[in-house]
Amino acid sequence: MRRVVVTGMGLISPLGNDPAAVFDRLLAGDSGIRRLPETFNKRLASRIAAPAEFDGEQRLPAARLRMLDRVSQFALAACGQALADAQLALEDEDANQIGVSIGTGMGGAHSTDNAYQRVYEQQSDRVEPFSVILAMNNAPASWIGIEHGLQGPNLTYSTACSSSAVAIGEAARRIAHGEVQVMIAGGAEAPLTFGTLKAWEALKALAQEDVENPAASCKPFARNRTGLVLGEGAAILVLEDAEHARLRGARLHAEVAGYGLATDTEHITRPSIGGQAKAMALALASAGLAPSDIGYINAHGTGTQANDAVETAAIKEVFGAAAGACPISSTKSMHGHLLGAAGALEFIIAILALQRRVVPPTAHLRIRDPDCDLDYVAEGARQIEALTAVMSNSFAFGGTNAVLIARRA
Amino acid sequence: MSPGPTTLEFLRQIIARDFQVDPQLLQPDARLEDFAIDSLGLIEIMFAVEEQFSITVPSEPPDARTPLNTLNDLVRYIDRLVSEQRGATPADEAVP
């Protein structure tokens, strides 16, 4: 098995579009969650969301924009950053040895929403000519491949909220097995449409607005948590065969040390202690690490009543006596839930924590829940000099639980 | 059939706008591929044409005897469709 390293990272997020700057905001406990403007739609019960600062029209010519849903725009922008960060000279590489692996829950949700509005609301018989191409789930991955001429496997994973963790884990395996040398892996999601927000509202999963401070509406692990807040963005990593990276003198952010994938079949939405614990245990086993080696967990921590208590119990089951000593945070308290892009964004955050030896807090955790009694770094960012390995949890509707572990390279 | 100036002018307008082409280059014998107008670009143009001329462009491309290589080819094809479909008013199509 070959070692897999991360040599490039890029992201578009509710906290900005540069990994280092986003991480600084997380350390400061700064939230990107806010109330959407009234023009967005007054018919939403809660207009709280975490939008990305991203204007496609400023970045791409009109002729290209007509072919790109917002989700693909995010993916291309984050990929461009990641490739630049990796300083990978694509012209010197074998295009067949570079693949793409992207997770997305909803694909081109804006285009689907627009087409439905035209057909059903406006009673038009005509939708945008490229609606199919705009909305298809594999568009983000495909456009990355086309833009950069990457002819290795081009894959899209859609396992709801674990999509991009799965995309990264599966990509790392392809490299580990010697199938390809480089994979562009991550996720993209652009779910902030009226239709999508309404659908989540119907599921009773969205947080109520914190009227005193809308930015604090998502309160993972707190007793007064009321649900998740949807966010948008993309997070892309360049994964590389360690030997390939060494030969070209690449700078290494981290090693992708472990990946655990476990399916629970108890319920379509209800999280499962067993499924989550199994995914963490498998990730540890694949990394050859003990729980006590993990110096930080970036939790799935959605802020729903169900997830946070179950995740706490699952961590205790796997970590045993080490659970109480492991700092855990849910950065969703600040960037919201990016659904199919969440796993990749949070893996990047975990890697940045590893690199900088400081872990971001769980924001807005003031009122403790007796069912969530671990160390959630509620008081603020914490310096941890001995950090050598970090874990990122991603659990999903449908039961596909995925856990990634990064280790100092 | 001689190219209808209205059709040609309309095509020039939307191609210049949507494909960022200098209108001066959009002469009747100009080749679409020179402006990077591929099969999807053609679909986009036809979408605008359908709205402008109130016609339906068939899904299948015209047969090999009527290729759509140049701007003039396009004008001829659109004019033919307009002429064929003239008289098919919304009232005729209305279902009681």
Inter-chain residue contact B19 with A63, CB threshold 8 Å: yes
Q: How confident is the model at residue A197 (pLDDT cuts 50, 70, 90)?
A: very high
Best B15, B47, B53, B93 residue to mutate vs chain A (most A CBs within 10 Å): B47
CB A113 within 8 A of CB A157: no
Query: Nearest 5°: phi and psi at A256?
Result: -80, 100
Crossing angle (nearest 10°) for helices A273-287 and A305-319: 40
**Chain B stretch 29-48, residues whose beta carbon is closer than 8 A to a beta carbon of chain A:** 40, 43-44, 46-47
A372 in catalytic set? no
Distance CA B28, CA B49 (A): 17
CB A280 within 8 A of CB A393: yes
Whether B56 and chain A come into contact, CB under 8 Å, resolves to no
Give B7-43 pLDDT, tens digit per residue: 999 999 999 999 999 999 999 999 999 998 988 899 9
Mean pLDDT of chain A: 97
pLDDT value at residue B58: 87
Mean pLDDT of the region A221-227? 97
Distance CA B29, CA B26 (A): 8
Mean pLDDT of the region A101-114? 97
Helices (H) and strands (E) in chain A, counts: 14, 14
Buried b (16+ CB within 10 A) or exposed e, B75-94: bbbbbebbeeeeeeeeeeee
Q: How confident is the model at residue A84 (pLDDT cuts 50, 70, 90)?
A: very high
pLDDT value at residue B4: 47
- Which among A261, A283, A290, A246 has a CA at the least distance from the CA of A3? A246
Least confident interval from A177-181, A337-341, B85-89: B85-89
Query: Nearest 5°: phi and psi at A398?
Result: 100, -20
In the chain, the amino acid numbered B82 is V
Mean pLDDT of chain B: 82
CB A17 within 8 A of CB A98: no
Inter-chain residue contact B43 with A129, CB threshold 8 Å: yes
CB A193 within 8 A of CB A139: no
Contacts of A66 in chain B (CB under 8 A): 18, 44
Q: How confident is the model at residue A77 (pLDDT cuts 50, 70, 90)?
A: very high
Distance CA A296, CA A133 (A): 40
Query: Nearest 5°: phi and psi at A208?
Result: -75, 155
Three-class SS state of A206: strand
Q: How confident is the model at residue B64 (pLDDT cuts 50, 70, 90)?
A: low
Distance CA A226, CA A134 (A): 34
pLDDT value at residue B59: 80
More confident residue, B59 or B77: B77
In this model, does residue A163 exceed pLDDT 80? yes
Inter-chain residue contact A129 with B20, CB threshold 8 Å: no
Mean pLDDT of the region A10-37? 97
Report CA dihedral (A352, A356, A361, A362) to the nearest 10 degrees: 20
Contacts of B51 in chain A (CB under 8 A): 126
Crossing angle (nearest 10°) for helices A194-202 and A109-116: 100
ipTM attached to this prediction: 0.71
pLDDT value at residue B93: 41
Least confident interval from A173-182, A397-406, B14-23: B14-23
pLDDT value at residue B87: 58
Distance CA A78, CA A10 (A): 5
Q: How confident is the model at residue A63 (pLDDT cuts 50, 70, 90)?
A: confident
pLDDT value at residue B86: 79
Give A347-391 pLDDT, tens digit per residue: 999 999 999 999 999 999 999 999 999 999 999 999 999 999 999
pLDDT value at residue B95: 39
- Who among A63, A126, A130 is closest to B18 (CB)? A63
pLDDT value at residue A92: 95
Query: Nearest 5°: phi and psi at A117?
Result: -60, -45
Q: pLDDT exceeding 90 applies to what percent of chain A?
A: 95
Give A248-305 pLDDT, tens digit per residue: 999 999 999 999 999 999 999 999 999 999 999 999 999 999 999 999 999 999 999 9
Q: How confident is the model at residue B47 (pLDDT cuts 50, 70, 90)?
A: very high
Q: How confident is the model at residue A45 (pLDDT cuts 50, 70, 90)?
A: confident
pLDDT value at residue B5: 55
